[in-house]
Amino acid sequence: MKKMRLHIYIALGVFIIGFIVGSFVDKALMEAVFSRGNGFGIFMSTIGTLPGYMMLAVIGGGFVALAFNKYKTIYRVILYIVAAACFVCAIYFSGREFFGENGFYNEKLVWVGYLIALPFAVGCGFLGIYLIKNSKTPYLWLILAIIAFFIFMSLVPGVTLLKGIFHRPRYRTLSLYEGIEYHSWWQRCSNYKDLMATYGVSKEEFKSFPSGHAGASAVFMLCAAFLPLLDKKYEKLSLILFYSGFAWVLFVSFTRILVGAHFLSDVSMGGILTLGFTLIANEILIAVNKKLALQKEEQVNN
């Protein structure tokens, strides 16, 4: 975890630079690359968050594996409930992207998206069971709980709260209607309800800042950073996965800009939020591991 600290800072630094640059060139960049209805960009919108959300299913599988242990019934029930919540969230959040307003929009086919997400969640659940069953790390329930908490925090409250404060119009919408003006990320669109009524657009078109897709796709990096906690042999693999996840986030972010769903500052802030939560979780886990090591040393000495 201490070794991953530097790499987390590097990725976070890239997003911070992107956020600063985007604050000045958002509109010009969008005018240069915007491609309305770009099929590839829309396809990436449907699958871009899948790796991130499926990490919840991996965590859910981990809690199921822990519930197999000889805990008291009440603890098993709690673990199963938390595992079920992880699976439901993974399927719901990833499934709604396929035929939602940011994907191949079709209200009648939204349920198909959940069916598509289901086998991925099941597979990732079994992966979580495998990882935990083969791990000899003590207090795995605590480690998983900390990681799950910060995954949830990075996916939902932070992004949702900021979207609800700023209501920044998406470029794909303001490019269609002259009455909807461009807003920098710090300029709150206070009359979004009037604009929705006037032009007949949905509230989704005023959720540009920050990018939920960038934040969700960055969750894969969060989980990769903590892979060595399960077993030391995953240490080298975690670094490869971390930077693979980083490349994936950059790619997804570009396609979100391409289709006019987000500006550069939007996707950068999405990454900043997730990596910020990753840093906090990393420091907490370092402290927890240090405390557990001291307790183990005291037990040996006694």
Residue by residue, pLDDT tens for the chain (302 residues) are 667 888 889 999 999 999 999 999 999 999 999 998 888 999 988 888 888 889 889 989 988 988 887 667 788 888 899 899 999 989 998 898 888 888 888 888 888 999 999 999 999 999 999 988 888 777 777 778 888 887 777 777 667 888 889 999 999 999 999 889 999 999 999 999 999 999 999 999 999 999 988 888 888 887 777 787 777 777 778 888 888 889 999 999 999 999 999 999 999 999 998 888 888 888 887 787 777 667 666 666 66
Based on the structure, what is the number of domains in the chain? Answer: 1
Q: Is residue 298 part of a domain?
A: no
Given a contact cutoff of 8 angstroms between Cβ atoms, the answer to whether 272 and 16 are in contact is yes
Whether residue 36 is contained in a domain is answered as yes
Does 241 reside within a domain?
Answer: yes
Q: How many whole angstroms separate alpha carbon 267 and alpha carbon 248? A: 13
User: 264 is written with which tokens?
Assistant: 């550069």
Q: What is the pTM of this model?
A: 0.86
State which residues form the domain around 57.
Answer: 2-292
Q: How far apart are CA 212 and CA 158, in angstroms?
A: 9
Element holding 94 (H helix, E strand) = helix 73-98
pLDDT in tens, 61-110: 988 988 887 667 788 888 899 899 999 989 998 898 888 888 888 888 88
The answer to whether the CB of 262 falls within 8 A of the CB of 49 is no
299 domain residue, yes or no = no
User: Residue 160: inside a domain, yes or no?
Assistant: yes
Q: Is residue 300 part of a domain?
A: no
DSSP H helices in the chain: 2-33, 39-47, 50-67, 73-98, 110-133, 140-155, 157-166, 171-174, 192-199, 212-217, 219-225, 235-258, 264-301
